[in-house]
Amino acid sequence: MKIALVGNPNSGKTTLFNALTGSNQYVGNWPGVTVEKKSGKYKGDKSIEIIDLPGIYSLSPYSLEEVIARNYILDEKPDAIINIVDGTNLERNLYLSTQVIDLGIPMVMAINMADVMEKRDEKIDTKKLEKELGVKCVLISAVKNELNNLMETLRSLKPSEERAYLSDDVEEAIQDISSLLKDKDFKRFIAIKVLENDPKIIEKEKIEPGIISRAKELALGLGQKYDDDIESIITSKRYDFISKVTGNIYIKKHSASESISDKIDKIVTNRILALPIFVLVMTLVYYISVTTVGTMATDWVNDVLFGEIIPPAVESFLTSVNCVPWLSSLILDGIVAGLGAILGFVPQILILFVLLALLEECGYMARIAFIMDRIFRKFGLSGKSFIPMLIGTGCGVPGIMASRTIENERDRRMTIMTTTFIPCSAKLPIIAMIAGAFFNGAWWVAPSAYFLGVAAIIVSGIILKKTKPFLGEVAPFVMELPAYHIPTLGAVLRSTWERGFSFIKKAGTIIFLSTILIWFVTNFGFIGGQFRMLDTLEIEYSIAATIGRAISFIFIPLGFGDWQATVATLMGLVAKENLVVTYGIIYGFAEASEEGAEFWGTLASSFTPVSAYALLAFNLLCAPCFAAIGAIKREMNNAKWTLAAVGYQCLFAYAVALMINQFGNFLVYGIFDVLTMVAVVILLAMVYLLLRKPKAHSLKTIGGAQD
Amino acid sequence: MPLTFAKVNETLSIKKVMTTSARSHLKDLGFVEGENISIVQKGNAGLIVMVKGVRLALSLELASRIYVSEGDQNEA
């Protein structure tokens, strides 16, 4: 038996879902989109599958969530629907309920917040409500796990009978269309949508042109009668019906006064205080997750657990059983290092997710979007994009994963694509190396790297916003601000666990496999015509070096077309700080310091300051490490988008590094050649992409969200 | 008058929602003619309003498309 859970955002839907399924949950994504999909088995009967549909206000095609929810119902035809409504605010919640009733699927209405209503001495006459709506109603309290006989009621459900509750003239029009639909399922629902000229339903249900023109005719007639468009007419008739119903069923109604939430909002979203408070909260998040607790935990896992404890233990075990060198190298440098790379991020990610869950649960996250939206809109991002980028200064992986709080698909994709432009902590050794070896440790190198990152985000935002997948009017901003409340420990832990575990599972695989691959190409090679495993300082014979020699010409325009730079860049994909380590190995300093000060002299002889800065810029902006690529893949939930993101980053990095090298050479050394011309062309192209006006025709976005 | 001109904490009644790409979405959210509405807060980013028992944040652009009049519709 399949049961779908439908309800407004903030109606307690997720709490009910958790109460029904306990730990029998599966969290994934809806196919091809970044919207989270949750399903699970009912605790009391494993044969019942419950699907938590996204929180929505209506079954219209306005948002991606609405389209997902209604497509699920139309395609999968669940056996029953639980419609959860907030009992303290029936009037608003019933709007969606009437649309679900139109579907005709057996449905039970779970009236939530029974405990709050009791406290307020508010009562609902459920018997009367059942009669008016023609569906079963059960009072529940999801928070207190008082689900009464919700599931028992479900088992004995009959399909809800078709009800004509709108005004007579509208009902006549619905009947007219409905009779033309012959033997379709969900006749009443589809007839209403056809009448409303809903393009997605018309296409999906392959409605014949004859029916469409009849619907247009009827809609026009009603439109003239009411002097409004058909959608608005049906909407207001729905509300008419709902106010008639709710007028009868409340035995006592609480009258709203200025609540605590209003008082908090008066301060938090205040004209003057909003930004300072926002900065304060963000500083706290940054301080806890990036600089203090998070770093301490991650450093411990990286340096102690996967530095001093596990590798020596494994090594001594391998030595004691006389393991062959290549296998022990594979286990130590490949598998253990790979596991370390994955698990090293876990503590930081978990701490971050706890903070995000707190922000979400208490209600402040919704206010962030409201406060910051205007600024971020200008370059195609959402107000919530700020958090991923801030976190990204610590580590791109949790940064990318923090994009989960952004509902809008396009905003989210854009955020995922641009977050790793911000230098993460693993890129700091590269910056320190370049600053020390070429610029005498000048103060401006590090700030310039952050400036470069921010500029890359803004420029990319503006350029990408004008490309097809991101094009379209910015959706006008309107969103519900949930009431502030104290987060429950259970909800915070659950959300942290879900997100953390899904990272370990999905992103872990790709990181693990790529670490082993990199281990292979850097540790094996041909020496004297013989293929064998190499010693640490024989890296120039490795497969990686061979590949480096073959493709290093690509980097000639950027000023670093030798195999060493190519291999170092490739190694940076495992973890960015490996770039420094690799240069150490190449120059014979296997045990160099973090910034590689020992070989700065050697390094300085193979670069000019200009080409060195180009190398820096390229490595800051190009594809992030495998862990971050894994996170991108996990969040995009789409191979094409992942490729597009990484491809764009590499291309952008290449263009920027080329311009830095060529214009730098021209300005500092007066060199002007063909490549300088190429740089000029790239610059002009970039300016064009920034300034061009996108074609103003309507476009279907991949997600299908309407603009 | 447009919602943006109205005072904070006063009971208002929605007169008309003007054409915008989000018109039907606004109606789904409860911005329908005759509905009571009050402004909770005016900020730099937009307004926070109370409609049908729920707090909604909306940008100034959208708020300027919603026309209201003073007074409680139900008392008239």
Identify whether residues A118 and A192 lie together within a single domain.
no
Identify whether residues A242 and A193 lie together within a single domain.
yes
Residue of chain B with shortest Cα separation from A482: B55
Q: A694 φ, ψ to 5°? A: -65, 150
Identify whether residues A60 and A151 lie together within a single domain.
yes
Residue A485 belongs to a domain: no
Identify whether residues A32 and A150 lie together within a single domain.
yes
**Residues of chain B positioned with their CB less than 8 A from the CB of A478:** 22, 25-26, 29, 56-59, 62
Distance (Å, rounded) from C-alpha A216 to C-alpha A198? Answer: 11
- Block means of pLDDT (10 residues each) for chain A, 707 residues, are 92 90 78 79 90 91 85 92 91 93 92 86 88 90 81 79 85 90 86 91 89 91 90 91 86 67 87 88 81 80 84 89 85 79 75 85 86 81 84 83 80 92 87 90 89 94 86 74 87 83 72 80 86 81 90 93 90 84 78 79 89 95 90 88 95 96 93 92 94 61 37
Task: Give the minimum alpha-carbon distance from A646 to chain B in angstroms, rounded to a whole number.
Answer: 33
Q: A139 φ, ψ to 5°? A: -85, 130
**Residues of chain B positioned with their CB less than 8 A from the CB of A475:** 21-22
Q: Which of A58, A60, A476 sits opposite B61 (nearest CB)?
A: A476
Strand partners of residue B8: B39
pLDDT value of position A27 = 75
Residues 6+ apart with CB under 8 A from A552: A561, A562, A563, A565, A566
Q: Which of A594, A562, A599, A601 is nearest to A583 (CA)?
A: A599
CATH number where A218 lies: 1.10.287.1770
Q: Angle, nearest 10°, between helix axes A445-465 and A674-691?
A: 60
- Across the interface, whether the CB atoms of A92 and B54 are under 8 A apart is answered yes
Best residue in A93, A477, A485, A698 for a mutation probing chain B (most B CBs within 10 Å): A477
CB-count burial class (<10 Å; 0-12, 13-18, 19+) for A344: buried
Question: How far is residue A93 CA from its own chain's centroid?
Answer: 27
Residue A503 belongs to a domain: no
A382 vs B55, more confident: B55
Interface contacts (A, B; CB < 8 Å): 127
Total residues found in chain B within this entry:
76
Q: Which two tokens stand for residue A687?
A: 């300016």
**Residues of chain B positioned with their CB less than 8 A from the CB of A479:** 56-58
- In chain B, where the domains are located: 3-75
- Out of A99, A125, A155, pick the residue that ends a domain: A155
Identify whether residues A22 and A66 lie together within a single domain.
yes
Residue of chain A with shortest Cα separation from B58: A478
Distance (Å, rounded) from C-alpha A173 to C-alpha A221? Answer: 10
- Across the interface, whether the CB atoms of B45 and A370 are under 8 A apart is answered yes
Task: Give the minimum alpha-carbon distance from B65 to chain A in angstroms, rounded to a whole number.
Answer: 11
**Host domain of residue A216:** 169-252
Q: Which of A36, A52, A44, A58 is nearest to A2 (CA)?
A: A52
Residue A6 belongs to a domain: yes
Strand partners of residue B50: B38, B55
From 3.30.365.10, 3.40.1190.20, 2.30.30.90, 3.40.50.720, which CATH number describes the B3-75 domain? 2.30.30.90
Q: B56 φ, ψ to 5°? A: -125, 135
Q: Which of A290, A288, A105, A125 is nearest to A189 (CA)?
A: A105
pLDDT value of position A652 = 96
pLDDT value of position B73 = 57
Identify whether residues A66 and A208 lie together within a single domain.
no
Contact B39, B57 (CB under 8 A): no
Pairing of strands B12-17, B66-70: antiparallel
Identify whether residues A146 and A236 lie together within a single domain.
no
Residue corresponding to tokens 């009411």 = A226
Residue A149 belongs to a domain: yes
pLDDT value of position A695 = 64
Identify whether residues A124 and A177 lie together within a single domain.
no
Q: Which of A235, A374, A478 sits opposite B58 (nearest CB)?
A: A478
Contact A394, A348 (CB under 8 A): yes
Residue-averaged pLDDT of chain A: 86
**Residues of chain B positioned with their CB less than 8 A from the CB of A265:** 40-41, 48, 55
Identify whether residues A55 and A132 lie together within a single domain.
yes
Identify whether residues A176 and A151 lie together within a single domain.
no
* ipTM score assigned to the predicted complex: 0.90
Question: How far is residue B24 CA from its own chain's centroid?
Answer: 14
Q: Which of A62, A89, A274 sits opposite B53 (nearest CB)?
A: A89
Residue A227 belongs to a domain: yes
pLDDT beyond 60 at B12: yes
**Residues of chain A positioned with their CB less than 8 A from the CB of B56:** 478-481
**Residues of chain A positioned with their CB less than 8 A from the CB of B50:** 256
Best residue in A370, A374, A377, A473 for a mutation probing chain B (most B CBs within 10 Å): A370
Identify whether residues A101 and A238 lie together within a single domain.
no
Please report which residue ranges of A524-638 form alpha helices under DSSP H: 543-551, 563-571, 578-586, 600-606, 609-621, 626-636
- Out of A110, A129, A155, pick the residue that ends a domain: A155
pLDDT value of position A705 = 38
- Out of A114, A132, A155, pick the residue that ends a domain: A155
**Residues of chain A positioned with their CB less than 8 A from the CB of B55:** 261-262, 265, 480-483
- Across the interface, whether the CB atoms of A478 and B62 are under 8 A apart is answered yes
Identify whether residues A20 and A134 lie together within a single domain.
yes
Residue corresponding to tokens 């480096």 = A548
DSSP one-letter code for A334: I
Residue A91 belongs to a domain: yes
User: What is the distance in angstroms between the CA of the first residue and the CA of the last residue of chain A?
Assistant: 36
Amino acid at A39: S
CATH number where A129 lies: 3.40.50.300
pLDDT value of position B67 = 93
pLDDT tens, residue by residue, A149-161: 888 888 877 777 7
The structural domain count of chain A equals 2
Touching check for A197 and chain B: CB below 8 Å?
no
- Across the interface, whether the CB atoms of B40 and A92 are under 8 A apart is answered no
Contact A64, A34 (CB under 8 A): no
Distance (Å, rounded) from C-alpha A434 to C-alpha A438? Answer: 6
Touching check for A407 and chain B: CB below 8 Å?
no
pLDDT value of position A257 = 58
pLDDT value of position A376 = 84
Q: Which two tokens stand for residue A312?
A: 């020596």
Residues 6+ apart with CB under 8 A from A579: A429, A430, A433, A568, A569, A571, A572, A619
Distance (Å, rounded) from C-alpha A621 to C-alpha A48? Answer: 48
Please report which residue ranges of A622-705 form alpha helices under DSSP H: 626-636, 639-664, 674-691
- Across the interface, whether the CB atoms of A481 and B53 are under 8 A apart is answered no
